[in-house]
């Protein structure tokens, strides 16, 4: 095999993540590497914690980036909060609820499942029944923004219920932070994890997490050791703790943390509320274009995520063929359906820096051209016109 330097193509990323990474974040990545115990790196850690607190709307002391992707952030939460024999109520309305179940069971804990149809939100009433029926449950876990279906569930209501029944709340916010409202302290979230490559528009590979004081107490007072040494927060806290007395645990991913710091700074400069509004605004532009073209959303409007749009594929149109042409002719990436939605829908991401007029316009124009060419029953030209009107 002959190998040379890898020069990636320039894509427009409108799938379920990674999203477009702004030049300022890419530039931050390539700054000189320093040691993970360097005083300057410790300053970076402190600033990153502060910026993460702002992004999560929390004052939680234990707010840190886990040195691995979102799936490891999920595992960090379950592995630290659960012990063998514990009971957790897990809501499943897409791929990531299933993954939560896998996590719970691999901890030797019991998962009580509350299942809802893919494409619908977590049913608050069913959750209350499960909480009533399981007074010994230790935590309630659910996904805020289900990346596999484009559905938002009601964090505020679910966390309130969890506390009413003396449970901790654990929220998957991988696709929500930075894109839609999430107020960790105000809404009573006890444990939360997110990803860097969605609405934060940094590169994938790091998972910010945050834990309430109540959750930290549970972690500090475990009867058994956390089954993962790498993810054991009792050890990680010593590394990401306050002041100069940091205990070596593992070597942090220095340069990716430069990138995350820059991406969080960008969000901080814009302001969370402004970022949420921006996602909504461009979602409306995309919606105008797609609907004018005759395409339909797969999720009802009241629970639709602005940043992750599940759009039904018109009858007779081949999913892979369309996405292949978009990639080859427009260098545009859309997401495929996952699991039972494979082949039936596209997932169109408007996350972070990808939530902009240029991307909406490219996406609608490209779909208009490709679908027309392939003989789909769409109204040719109407989509791009509606987009122009939205932004006029």
Residues 4 to 33 in contact with a second copy, rule: CB under 8 A:
4-11, 13, 15, 17-18, 20-21, 24, 26-33
Residues 331-350 that bind a second copy (CB under 8 A): 333, 338
Please state, in angstroms and rounded to a whole number, the distance separating the CA atoms of residues 96 and 17: 15
Interface residue with a second copy, options 58, 63, 64, 67 (CB under 8 A): 67
Instruction: Work out whether 391 is an interface residue with a second copy (CB under 8 A).
Output: no
Axis crossing angle, helix 233-240 with helix 70-81, rounded to the nearest 10: 120
Report the C-alpha gap between 227 and 236 in whole angstroms.
14
Q: Which of positions 188-207 make contact with a second copy (CB under 8 A)? A: 195, 197, 203-206
Cα 271 from Cα 371, distance rounded (Å) = 37
332-336 vs 345-349, strand pairing mode:
antiparallel
The footprint of a second copy on residues 144-183 (CB under 8 A) is none
Span of 65-73, 111-119, 124-132, 165-173 interacting with a second copy by CB under 8 A: 65-73
State which of residues 140, 191, 233, 252 lies at the interface with a second copy (CB under 8 A): 252
DSSP category for residue 239: H
Considering the rule CB under 8 A, would residue 223 count as an interface residue with a second copy? no
Alpha helices for the chain (secondary structure H): 23-29, 39-56, 70-81, 95-106, 124-133, 155-164, 184-187, 213-220, 233-240, 254-270, 272-293, 319-330, 357-373, 382-391
Cβ at position 239, least distance to a second copy in Å: 11
Nearest distance in Å: CB 148, a second copy: 10
Q: How far is the CB of 185 from a second copy (least distance, A)?
A: 17
CA distances, 169 to each of 8, 59, 156, 212, 336 (Å): 40, 17, 10, 10, 30
Minimum separation from the CB atom of position 125 to a second copy (A): 30
Asked if residue 249 binds a second copy (CB under 8 A), the reply is: yes
Among the residue ranges 39-47, 120-128, 175-183, 299-307, the one whose residues contact a second copy (CB under 8 A): 39-47
Minimum distance from residue 264 beta carbon to a second copy (Å): 8
Residue located via tokens 């208009």: 368
Tell me the C-alpha distance between 325 and 306, whole Å: 25
47 touches a second copy by CB under 8 A: yes
Footprint of a second copy on residues 266-285 (CB under 8 A)? 268
List 50, 220, 379, 391, residue binding a second copy (CB under 8 A): 50
Give the residue with the Cβ less far from a second copy, 129 or 251: 251
CB of 40 to a second copy, least distance (A): 6
* Interatomic CA distance for residues 98 and 75, integer angstroms: 13
Our CB check for a second copy shows the closer of 188 and 256 to be 256
CB distance 147 to 195 below 8 Å: no
Contact 25, 201 (CB under 8 A): yes
Site string for a second copy, 291-330 (x = CB under 8 A): ------------------------------------x---
Task: Tell which one of 62, 75, 96, 313 touches a second copy (CB under 8 A).
Answer: 75
Instruction: Choose which of 59, 106, 126, 389 interacts with a second copy (CB under 8 A).
Output: 106
3-state SS class at 298:
coil
Selected range binding a second copy among 62-70, 111-119, 186-194, 358-366, rule: CB under 8 A: 62-70
Side-chain half-sphere of 350: how many Cα atoms within 13 Å? 32
**From candidates 51, 263, 310, 345, binder to a second copy by CB under 8 A:** 51
Cβ partners under 8 Å of residue 186, min gap 6: 57
Q: Which residue lies nearer to a second copy by CB, 107 or 288?
A: 107
Could you tell me the CA-to-CA distances from 56 to 1, 86, 233, 272, 352 in Å, in that order?
46, 27, 19, 9, 15
Cβ-based nearer residue to a second copy, 41 or 211 = 41
Question: Phi then psi for 130, rounded to 5 degrees?
Answer: -65, -40
229 binds a second copy (CB under 8 A): yes
Applying CB under 8 A, what is the total number of residues that bind a second copy?
81
């Amino acid at each position: 095999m002959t190998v040379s330097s890898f020069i990636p193509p320039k894509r427009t990323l409108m799938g379920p993540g990674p999203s477009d990474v702004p030049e300022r974040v890419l530039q931050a990545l390539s700054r000189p590497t320093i040691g993970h115990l360097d005083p300057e790196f410790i300053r970076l850690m402190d600033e990153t914690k502060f910026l993460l607190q702002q992004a999560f709307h929390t004052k939680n002391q234990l707010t840190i980036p886990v040195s691995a992707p979102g799936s490891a952030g999920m595992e960090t939460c379950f592995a630290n909060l659960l012990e063998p024999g514990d009971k957790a109520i897990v809501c499943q309305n897409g791929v990531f609820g299933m993954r939560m179940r896998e996590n719970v069971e691999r901890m030797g804990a019991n998962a009580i499942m509350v299942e809802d149809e893919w494409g619908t939100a977590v049913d608050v009433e069913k959750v209350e029944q499960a909480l009533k029926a399981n007074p010994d449950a230790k935590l309630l876990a659910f996904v805020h923004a289900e990346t596999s279906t484009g559905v938002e569930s009601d964090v505020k209501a679910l966390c309130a219920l969890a506390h009413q029944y003396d449970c901790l709340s654990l929220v998957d916010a991988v696709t929500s932070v930075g894109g839609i409202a999430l107020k960790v302290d105000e809404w009573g979230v006890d444990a939360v994890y997110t990803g860097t490559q969605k609405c934060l528009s940094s590169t994938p590979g790091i998972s910010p997490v945050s834990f309430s004081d109540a959750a930290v107490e549970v972690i500090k007072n475990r009867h058994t050791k956390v089954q993962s040494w790498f993810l054991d927060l009792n050890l990680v806290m010593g590394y990401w703790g306050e002041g100069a007395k940091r205990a070596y645990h593992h070597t942090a991913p220095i340069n990716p943390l430069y990138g995350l710091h820059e991406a969080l700074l960008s969000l901080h400069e814009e302001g969370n509320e402004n970022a949420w509004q921006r996602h909504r605004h461009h979602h409306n532009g995309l919606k105008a274009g797609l609907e004018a073209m005759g395409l339909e959303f797969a999720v009802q409007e009241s629970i639709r995520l602005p940043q992750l749009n599940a759009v039904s594929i018109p009858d007779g149109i081949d999913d892979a063929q369309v996405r292949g042409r978009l990639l080859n002719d427009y260098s545009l990436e859309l997401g495929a359906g996952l699991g039972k939605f494979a082949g039936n829908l596209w997932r169109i991401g408007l996350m972070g820096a990808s939530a902009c007029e240029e991307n909406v316009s490219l996406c609608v124009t490209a779909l208009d051209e490709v679908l027309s060419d392939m003989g789909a029953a769409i109204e040719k030209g109407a989509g791009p016109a509606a987009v122009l009107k939205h932004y006029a």
